[in-house]
């Protein structure tokens, strides 16, 4: 395992070289104006840092849009979804027929999985990763071919490509990956997807794409535009802070989108759709969410450095760190201190996934972690 002390020191300096911090000094507190403007929740009890949500959301503008849509609650959502699909098509530079609106991206993952494996066959996926597609497809008879992540917790693309056979119906990539928070190198990713999509369908789950630091990092939507066999999922649950509203979407070339769309079950609802439209317009909240996530990650890194706990440099709104303690035990210890942390992600039973919350929640997490380890 390459996460030795030298590695974490290196990672720590990459992460901004923070000095710690016992009473967590150096925290940039929210100004009153920010608090008023973005209306963060009161501290929940327990503080929930277990599901990679964004507790700053939904933004005030989204809330107002939802309130203004109340009268439309008697209408079916299709026309409203059509307008949102237009906006999304423009945003991504694709045809409207390429967009499939779903009840959270989870619905997109599930229906894409069964669309291509309902008659049997196999999905190749990394382990650990986000499981919604594979668990659902397995229930409908698919086999899952699991490829362990490499020693740096990244995808082993070579091994994935090697395992493709005529049984393979889909290769599932989650990039950045949940729970490891790792990001594939841009050029390797593009080459891999171009090559593999000639043999099978590549699914790219981009739930955390907005958190990637490099503004030029490619979305696999670029390959959709070239007509390749690539399906991309996106969500309003993370940076837009709308996880409870259940809205996400898939992007695929129209021929592929048409086949997947037939399997939509839930779709979304008028309130979420109207909220999503406003979320796309609300650039200030988007920027605010990203800034707060960065700030929260720096605070968590600083605490992990202080405790000498190795971690993976995160491209998401959560951090995966080596707790060195069984995760179920740590989970109970942290819950006793009022903080709910991520579950176990086999085979990494002594690693912990911690989501960023509000700055106040992260400060509470840091204090709880320090006390559990002292």
Residues that bind ligand PLP (CB under 6 A): 52, 104-106, 130, 174, 178, 205, 207, 235, 237, 243, 248
Q: Which is nearer to ligand PLP, 40 or 104 (by Cβ)?
A: 104
Give the CA-trace dihedral at 247, 251, 256, 259, to 10 degrees.
Answer: 10
Nearest approach, Cβ of residue 290 and ligand PLP (Å):
17
What gap in Å lies between CA 299 and CA 358, rounded to an integer? 11
Contact by Cβ (8 Å): 143, 166:
no
What gap in Å lies between CA 51 and CA 56, rounded to an integer? 14
What gap in Å lies between CA 64 and CA 203, rounded to an integer? 34
Nearest approach, Cβ of residue 175 and ligand PLP (Å):
9
What gap in Å lies between CA 367 and CA 115, rounded to an integer? 46
Q: Which is nearer to ligand PLP, 110 or 306 (by Cβ)?
A: 110
Alpha helices in 316-358 (DSSP H): 327-336
Q: Which is nearer to ligand PLP, 182 or 333 (by Cβ)?
A: 182
Q: Which is nearer to ligand PLP, 197 or 233 (by Cβ)?
A: 233
Nearest approach, Cβ of residue 261 and ligand PLP (Å):
17
Nearest approach, Cβ of residue 248 and ligand PLP (Å):
4
Q: Which is nearer to ligand PLP, 243 or 334 (by Cβ)?
A: 243
Contacts of 44 (CB under 8 A, 6+ apart): 55, 361
Nearest approach, Cβ of residue 209 and ligand PLP (Å):
10
Q: State the DSSP string of 7-27.
A: HHHHHHHHTT-----SS-TT-
- Distances, alpha carbon 125 to alpha carbons 93, 167, 233, 356, 363, in Å: 28, 14, 15, 26, 35
CA 90 from chain centre, in angstroms, equals 23
Q: Which is nearer to ligand PLP, 105 or 323 (by Cβ)?
A: 105
Residue nearest to ligand PLP (CB): 104
Q: In the beta sheet, which residues pair with residue 353?
A: 320
Nearest approach, Cβ of residue 17 and ligand PLP (Å):
29
Q: Which is nearer to ligand PLP, 153 or 363 (by Cβ)?
A: 153
Helix 78-92 and helix 270-281, axial crossing angle in degrees, nearest 10: 30
Nearest approach, Cβ of residue 355 and ligand PLP (Å):
9
- What is the maximum span of the chain, computed from C-alpha positions, in angstroms? 60
Nearest approach, Cβ of residue 286 and ligand PLP (Å):
16
User: In the chain, helix, strand, coil percent, each to 5?
Assistant: 45, 15, 40
Answer whether the bond into residue 179 is a cis peptide, omega within 30°.
yes
Q: Which is nearer to ligand PLP, 88 or 243 (by Cβ)?
A: 243
């Amino acid at each position: 395992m390459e996460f030795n002390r030298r590695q974490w020191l290196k990672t720590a300096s990459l992460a901004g070289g923070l000095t710690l911090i016992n009473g967590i000094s150096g925290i940039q507190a929210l100004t009153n104006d920010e608090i008023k403007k973005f209306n963060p929740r009161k501290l929940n009890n327990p503080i929930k840092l277990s599901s990679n949500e964004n507790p700053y959301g939904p933004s005030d503008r989204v809330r107002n849009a939802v309130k203004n849509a109340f009268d439309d609650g008697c209408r079916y959502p299709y026309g409203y979804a059509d307008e949102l699909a237009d906006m999304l098509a423009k945003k991504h530079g694709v045809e409207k027929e390429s967009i499939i609106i779903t009840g959270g991206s989870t619905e997109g993952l599930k229906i894409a999985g069964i669309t291509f494996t309902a008659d049997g066959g196999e999905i190749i996926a990394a382990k650990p990763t986000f499981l919604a597609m594979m668990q659902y497809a397995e229930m409908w008879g698919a086999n899952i071919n699991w490829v362990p992540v490499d020693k740096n917790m990244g995808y082993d693309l070579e091994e994935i490509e090697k395992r493709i056979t005529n049984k393979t119906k889909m290769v599932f990539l989650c990039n950045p990956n949940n729970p490891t928070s790792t990001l594939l190198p841009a050029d390797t990713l593009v080459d891999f997807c171009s090559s593999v999509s000639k043999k099978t369908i590549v699914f790219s789950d981009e739930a955390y794409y907005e958190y990637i630091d490099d503004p030029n990092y490619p979305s696999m939507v670029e390959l959709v535009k070239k007509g390749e066999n690539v399906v991309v999922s996106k969500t309003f649950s993370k940076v837009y802070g709308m996880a409870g509203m259940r809205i996400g979407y898939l992007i695929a070339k129209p021929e592929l989108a048409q086949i997947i769309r037939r399997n939509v079950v839930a779709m979304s609802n008028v309130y979420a759709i109207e909220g999503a439209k406003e979320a796309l317009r609300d650039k200030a909240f988007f920027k605010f969410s990203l800034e707060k996530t960065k700030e929260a990650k720096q605070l968590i890194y600083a605490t992990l450095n202080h405790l000498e706990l190795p971690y993976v440099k995160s491209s998401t709104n959560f951090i995966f760190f080596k707790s060195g303690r069984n995760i179920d035990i740590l989970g109970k210890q942290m819950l006793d201190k009022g903080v709910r942390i991520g579950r176990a992600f086999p085979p990494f039973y002594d690693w912990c996934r911690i989501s960023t919350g509000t700055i106040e929640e992260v400060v509470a997490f840091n204090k709880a972690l320090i006390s559990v380890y002292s």
